[in-house]
């Protein structure tokens, strides 16, 4: 059975970076896919980008979303996906030329497979093999970034896609990909790592933000991690380790104000997220999104 993919790209504020991603898609050795651009910009900056993608021969659907919310944008893309497999390339990532071919071939050969995590080249080399909830729940697996995730569309729709209370532009500022993976694995989804398929994305460089901004950013992102501690049945020692470790590491950073601010933000944010989720503080926009 020949499968097709839908590649959902949620984007805001970028233009030039998208060209590299589009070029990598145009170079794919298998073209059984459509690009779905979910445009969160208030202007028409992406019109030339979409026109260029189509001129390169890509099937491209351009959708608009007025409220900036990354997970809601992805869910909008999922709702419009016509492919059997759905993936989420960032607007500043790029694929090796054989990614679509390798991934679709893997799903065609392994009919039991619900999801695939491919290798983020710049982030290291994860081991190949089957994923399980117990390993993922220890937070010791390689991170499942959205750029590495491929799912059967029906399986993803069945769990409601991404939780829009988590992630960029939300109070719980991260954790949406890990949340989705934990949710699927808890339900028995068959998922594997595939280090032979490569996606590229530049690694974040050490920040030169002033301590106050470093603190605020770390705090917001850490709330998402704290929410995961509250939402999923993780081992008690994993939760305790996660909540305590930023505070325990703080003394070694006393001479580095930015690092100290980051650890302080991380410690406070994880605690806020953990308590906040237990108290029911969240805004889920899925009903208003896709």
pLDDT tens digits for 215-225? Answer: 999 999 999 99
Are residues 114 and 245 located together in one domain of the fold? no
Are residues 116 and 255 located together in one domain of the fold? no
pLDDT of residue 289: 33
pLDDT of residue 38: 98
CA–CA dist 51, 62 (Å, integer):
10
Model confidence, pTM: 0.91
Give the residue from 267, 227, 225 showing the smallest Cα distance to 246. Answer: 267
Give the CATH number for residue 126: 3.90.550.10
pLDDT of residue 288: 33
pLDDT in tens, 140-151: 766 678 999 999
- Dig out the tokens for 50 from the structure: 């979409």
CA–CA dist 10, 159 (Å, integer):
20
CA dihedral in degrees (187, 189, 192, 198; nearest 10)? Answer: -100
- Dig out the tokens for 65 from the structure: 């979303």
CA–CA dist 236, 5 (Å, integer):
39
DSSP-derived pairing of the beta strands 60-64 and 33-39: parallel
Are residues 179 and 61 located together in one domain of the fold? yes
Are residues 188 and 260 located together in one domain of the fold? no
pLDDT in tens, 7-37: 999 999 999 899 999 999 999 999 999 999 9
In a domain, 96, yes or no: yes
pLDDT of residue 104: 98
Q: Three-state SS for 182?
A: helix
User: Residue 231's domain spans which residues?
Assistant: 211-278
Give the residue from 277, 284, 173 showing the smallest Cα distance to 234. Answer: 277
- Dig out the tokens for 115 from the structure: 């999801």
In a domain, 285, yes or no: no
């Amino acid at each position: 059975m020949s499968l097709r993919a839908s590649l959902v790209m949620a984007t805001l504020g970028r233009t030039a970076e998208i060209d590299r991603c589009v070029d990598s898609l145009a170079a794919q050795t298998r073209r059984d896919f459509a690009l779905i651009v979910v445009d969160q910009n208030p202007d028409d900056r992406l019109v030339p980008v979409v026109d260029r993608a189509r001129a390169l021969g890509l099937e491209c659907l351009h959708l608009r979303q007025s409220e900036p919310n990354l997970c809601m944008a992805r869910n909008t893309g999922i709702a419009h996906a016509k492919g059997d497999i759905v993936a989420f390339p960032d607007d500043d990532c790029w694929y090796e030329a054989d990614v679509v071919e390798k991934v679709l071939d893997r799903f065609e050969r392994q009919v039991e497979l619900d999801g695939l995590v491919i290798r983020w080249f710049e982030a290291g080399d994860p081991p190949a093999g089957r994923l399980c909830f117990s390993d993922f729940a220890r937070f010791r697996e390689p991170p499942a970034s959205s750029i590495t995730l491929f799912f059967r569309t029906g399986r993803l729709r069945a769990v409601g896609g991404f939780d829009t209370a988590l992630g960029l532009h939300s109070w719980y500022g991260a954790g949406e990909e890990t949340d989705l993976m934990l949710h699927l694995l808890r339900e028995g989804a068959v998922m594997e790592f595939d280090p032979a398929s490569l996606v590229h994305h530049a690694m974040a460089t050490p920040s030169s933000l002033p301590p106050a901004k470093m603190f605020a950013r770390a705090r917001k992102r850490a709330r998402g991690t704290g929410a995961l501690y509250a939402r999923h049945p993780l081992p008690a020692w994993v939760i305790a380790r996660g909540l305590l470790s930023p505070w325990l590491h703080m003394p070694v950073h006393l001479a580095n104000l930015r690092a100290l601010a980051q650890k302080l933000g991380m410690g406070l944010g994880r605690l806020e997220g953990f308590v906040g989720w237990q108290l029911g503080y969240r805004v889920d926009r899925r009903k208003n999104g896709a």
